[in-house]
Structure 1
């Protein structure tokens, strides 16, 4: 049967998100490892707003269990959301398959710096398409989808009939949209139409019995104006 509902959330604004936004089109080298980047003050505020949203849900819609990316910004988002919700601690499973898309040799650079340092790879990216391109030592979006398909298959057995909250990343939420819809992999590029998933954006599917219904996607109305 599988979970009865899947609620997927991107983490709140991270320090790296802020650094990349401030750099704009100027080349940026960001030294911190992707797994240890945590939240900005805005990100903490967004995580608390997520918690208040969860507290406002009717009992039949509130999550009953949590699966989380191992990256610090996702773990911190859930901790702050749970504190703001005020609920008794839910069971939390940290799953490596919910990590962000691995950028490999591009991990410390923004797009402008990659273009400056790896022009031949950027040309390869243009030729392959953003969803199919795999940076040196990294992953393509198709690679992320492959691990998410495996994750969801496992979830069917572990969260049968329960409402599940997934706290993860932009690439994970996009990949979940593709896999839950049952879309064929040759159509994966179409999911980029819905990018980017916004910080603390929430997406909801009613699932179970081999069927799924997308209720809302990338919704940030809980964050206010």
Structure 2
């Protein structure tokens, strides 16, 4: 994980799914009411404005810090964020920088829990809710879904391959909150306890996290930076409901 000059991670802008899930908080609803499959959830209008603000933040980077490669989750909300953000950057227009999709950056698969709220999971899957409480969210895998450690496995492979393709590069990854948290787990070689403490602070939509490489290790520069979003605020909610 020390092969990059700069590693930048951005969460997608606010999605219509974020809005729908946020509306269920404090209610008795068992379902989120999101009609699309997870991969097809689009950005909200606020999310599009946030993506533009993220792009302006990237455009303001010094020339020797600007991304030389952009990788995105294939999910619509992330890929559109990457495209909208890059459209705000003059170096993308002149150099033809385009996001490359990698399926290993997709959001965590919730399996049978997809579309359910925390209330819905407890009511419809009481045995699984009890198992989650016993195993803990780091290792728990919902039926047909993925655990946080499953994310770590596919991200290790992703970063290994990317380091071989972009040695010494300046990389931007646009993905999801869980991907950003688990990337930090890998980059900073954190423990389960440390990463779960970090995960308690939600990763803001269109926030930017940055690490700089010195040839030996990646050093954190900023995490969950949302200073560029003052003009486009929104309520931060997780990408998915289950055990998040």
- Report the TM-score, using the length of structure 1 for normalisation: 0.94
> Counterpart of 2:225?
219
- CA displacement 1:103-124 (0-9 Å, x = unmatched): 0000111212112211211111
Q: Which structure 1 residue ranges, 5 or more long, are not aligned?
A: none
Tell me the equivalent position of 2:69: 65
Separation (CA, whole Å) in 2 of partners of 1:153 and 1:208: 17
**Cα pair 1:66 1:92 within 8 Å, conserved:** yes
Whole-Å Cα distance in 1 between the matches of residues 217 and 188 of structure 2? 9
- For the 8 Å contact 1:131–1:189, the answer to whether it is kept is no
For this pair of structures, how many residues does the alignment match?
A: 222
Structure 1 residue aligned with 2:189: 182
User: Which portions of structure 1, spanning 4 or more consecutive aligned residues, are displaced by more than 4 angstroms?
Assistant: none
Partner of 2:44: 40
User: Contact (CA 8 Å) 1:4, 1:161: kept in 2 or not?
Assistant: yes
Q: Does 1:165 align with 2:172?
A: yes
Could you say which residue in structure 1 is the equivalent of 2:207? 201
Superimposed CA distance per residue, residues 30-80 of structure 1 (whole angstroms, 9 cap, x where no aligned partner): 332100001001101110000010111110111111011010000010111
| Aligned equivalent of 2:240 | none
**Retained in 1: the 8 A contact 2:82–2:99?**
no
Query: Which ranges in structure 2 are unaligned for 5 or more consecutive residues?
Result: 232-244
**Corresponding residue number in structure 2 for 1:84:** 88
- Counterpart-to-counterpart distance in 1, 2:12 and 2:141: 24
Coordinate RMSD, CA, aligned = 1.4
Q: Distance in 1 between matches of 2:11 and 2:196?
A: 16
8 Å CA contact 2:5, 2:170 repeated in 1: yes
Contact 1:32 1:108 in 2 (8 A): no
Q: TM-score, normalization: structure 2?
A: 0.87
- Per mean C-alpha deviation after superposition, the further-off stretch among 28-37 and 9-18 is 28-37
